[in-house]
Every structure is written in structure tokens, then in C-alpha cells.
Structure 1
């Protein structure tokens, strides 16, 4: 199986390094992505928006023989959902790591502090306490060293969707900073931030309690959770 791993903000393909071993050991072909503008700290980021990142995921899908499974962490959830919208017949499952599908017209986060064409990694006090669970001082320092400014347009552009066949692609939501019970409560309460999940025909919820970056705080467990979701699809 081809598994495409899409990182969240400020991260490149290497952010998945400690997650992939159980996937490759099981014989899967793993494709962690570095998205446009995230190639290096000095890479140009002007003119790069959400569409360019979704297009990069679609290009990765098209480069495989298919079918594929998409994994998106954080903002990567919006990107894999946009790619599913374009390739619903090729994607077998979308796996959302502490994230979810972003519906039509939604934006990932237009409140992050920006600097020109980019959004640098903010100070930790911008994040909620739940985001930072298990992110030790050493892990925070390592994150700061590896962080690459995010193209601003990716955070602020609206999601554009066109194909309702995306609803037929099963989803797995790996719940980290919030539990599956909390997520179900928000869905039942009609929270617009999670409304898109109500349209997907088959959604499963998996609890992996930690903060927002399980690829750093619980990488082996995250790899096992992804592998379990992949195995259920086969």
C-alpha cells in the first residue's frame, strides 16, 4: 500500500521519521511530503497558498500506481481532504492526526501572527495548554530548531471543494489533544468547526492522548495507530 504522509504547519517530511518504522516494516511504501515553501528556512514563500499544497498532495497521489491512503497532521488534514475531493476514486482512506476535514469556504487559521508572506512558528504562549501536553523542554527546543516558516496563504486561503464523492472515502480521526468523546460532543452540538465530519459516510475515532504533535511526543504509538487504520482498510 502507498501511504502519503502530509505534515502540519512549520514541518517538512523529516517530521515523520520516527512514525514510519512500523509502516515500512509491514511492507508499505511510505511517502512523507515536504510541501512547497517548506524546503528550507530561506525558501521563497510568496504566492504559495492552500491550492499549491493540495496540488502537491494530488501530484504525489498521481505519482503512485494507486490506490493510496492519505495521512494528514493538523493543517495537513485540510490538504488531504482537498486532495480527496480531486481523487476520490484513488484514495482508500483519509487519516486525520489531531485534525479533520476542512469544509467548503473554511480556512485553516487566519489568526496566526504573520511576517510578510510567511507565518513563523509562534511563541509557545500562543498555543493552548492542551496543544503542549508531553512536549518537553527538549522536544520544544528540537521543534524550534527544525521549524520552517509557513507560507501565509496556506493559513488564510479558503478551501474550495467540488466533488461530493469525497464523502464516500472513509475517515479515521486520531484524537490527541481532544478525546473522541469530546469530538462526538462537538459534533452533536452542531459545532461548525467539525461539521464536515457529519457528511462523511464512514468515520472512526481513535484515542491517542497527548498534545498536538504526537509525531514527537508519542511517535511509535502514532505509527501503530496509523498502521491499524491501514490494516482495517485492506
Structure 2
């Protein structure tokens, strides 16, 4: 039986984003009759009363709750790779496939920035660097303005807390890495050169890398192409 055909699709956005970031992709998938669950991770609600107290563990728990009993296709964008990897480590038997959007599964002990200080990281702290690196490629002025308007500061716990991984079955969960900001061959090269955030590429045994050139936010710049990849994954 093809378990992916009826699998729930859980969409986890990266830093500063809520479920709204997946609106176009989710609509395209639902039009195909898919069960789609876009997430706003704990601490990313605009009115969260204590963002600085939110932990990585709380975000992991929210993903596992959305996964339910499975089968699930788990889609993670950017910094969501850390809680998504931990979630897969906890319930590998419920994930039929993973999709990593301009990111990759992480290794044990990985953190986005273990030395980060403060209670939250606002988008403004990274905005100029993102522009300089070209990660905003293919976004319209309206999309950029909407991003700035709706972005929510990232809880410090999600930035500082380290992934704690224990179940090596996660390494055999089939996955697709959607390479947007730079080509697949560079993903592999950077991993081999020791880039910490891509180290999981060297561990996982069932990953396929695909090129879809655009910026770091393909859910906005290339929603139809990304929805097709996700649909075909599950």
C-alpha cells in the first residue's frame, strides 16, 4: 500500500514566520485533496505574552502533536530544521517522508546560535544580511513589505537550545532537500567542508537533493513549484 498517498502534510515555517507563510502552498495542496496542517510554532504567535520563555522542546512538542499518529510528510523550512529533526528522532515511524526547504536535517547537539543573548531575535537583526546574501531573490516589493509587517521575533530558546537526538532510525527516513539559494553540489561541498548546519547531509542515508533556483523563501517566490515537490513527496 502507498502510505504517502494519504499522508498528512505538516508545514513548518522557519524563523520569524507563522502558518500564514504557507498560505499559497497550502491552498495548492488542498486543491489536490490533501490534508494539510501549516504550523505556527510556540513563541511565533504575534501576541505571545512571554516569548523569551519559549523553549525548543515546546516547538518540538507542537510538531509532534501536528504529526499525530501518522503517516505524515513533514516539511521544514530554514531554522525549523532543528525542531523538525528532533521531532523525527522522537517518532520516526510516523514520518513517511521529510522535505527540507533550503535547509537540512541537523546532527545531535546542533543549535542555531548557542551563544545568542537576549530573549528574542527580531527580523531586523538579520534583515540587511539576508538582503546582502541574496536570500530575498525573486520576492516582490509587496512580498518583502508583507514579510516585514508580519514577522514575529524568534524566541531565544529556538535560537540557543541544542538538538538532543537518540534514535538512529531517523537517518533512514526518506527525505528531499530542496536546494534554492545555492545548488545541490554546493550543499554537499559545504557539508564536506564542515559547515555545521549542513552536517546532517553526511549522516542521513535516504536523502535526495533537488535544485529549484530562487531565494530562501520559495513558498512565496515559487509556490507552485514547491507545492509540486511536496505533493510528489507524499
Tell me if TM exceeds 0.5.
yes
- 1:190-230 deviation digits (Å, cap 9, x = unpaired): 54432212221211011111111111111121111211222
Is the Cα–Cα contact under 8 Å of residues 102 and 196 in structure 1 kept in the other structure? yes
Please report how far the alpha carbon of residue 162 of structure 1 lies from its aligned counterpart in structure 2 after TM superposition: 1.0
* SS of structure 1 residue aligned to 2:99: strand
Between 91-100 and 135-144, the greater mean CA deviation after superposition = 135-144
Match for residue 121 of structure 2? 119
Match for residue 60 of structure 2? 54
- 1: CA distance between counterparts of 2:40 and 2:184? 29
Between 116-125 and 71-80, the greater mean CA deviation after superposition = 116-125
Counterparts of 1:1-234 in structure 2, within 5 Å, are 1-62=7-68, 65-110=69-114, 116-122=118-124, 124-127=127-130, 128-230=132-234
Change (3 A) 1:22 1:136: closer
Is the Cα–Cα contact under 8 Å of residues 67 and 91 in structure 1 kept in the other structure? yes
In structure 2, list runs of 5 or more residues that go unmatched. 1-6
**What's the C-alpha RMSD, in Å, of the aligned pairs?**
1.8
Please report how far the alpha carbon of residue 101 of structure 1 lies from its aligned counterpart in structure 2 after TM superposition: 0.8
* SS of structure 1 residue aligned to 2:51: coil
Change (3 A) 1:145 1:202: same
Please report how far the alpha carbon of residue 165 of structure 1 lies from its aligned counterpart in structure 2 after TM superposition: 1.0
- 2: CA distance between counterparts of 1:69 and 1:131? 25
- 2: CA distance between counterparts of 1:193 and 1:66? 27
* SS of structure 2 residue aligned to 1:28: coil
- 2: CA distance between counterparts of 1:95 and 1:86? 17
- 2: CA distance between counterparts of 1:142 and 1:224? 24
Change (3 A) 1:21 1:42: closer
Is the Cα–Cα contact under 8 Å of residues 79 and 112 in structure 2 kept in the other structure? yes
In structure 1, list runs of 5 or more residues that go unmatched. none
Please report how far the alpha carbon of residue 124 of structure 1 lies from its aligned counterpart in structure 2 after TM superposition: 2.4
Change (3 A) 1:178 1:111: farther
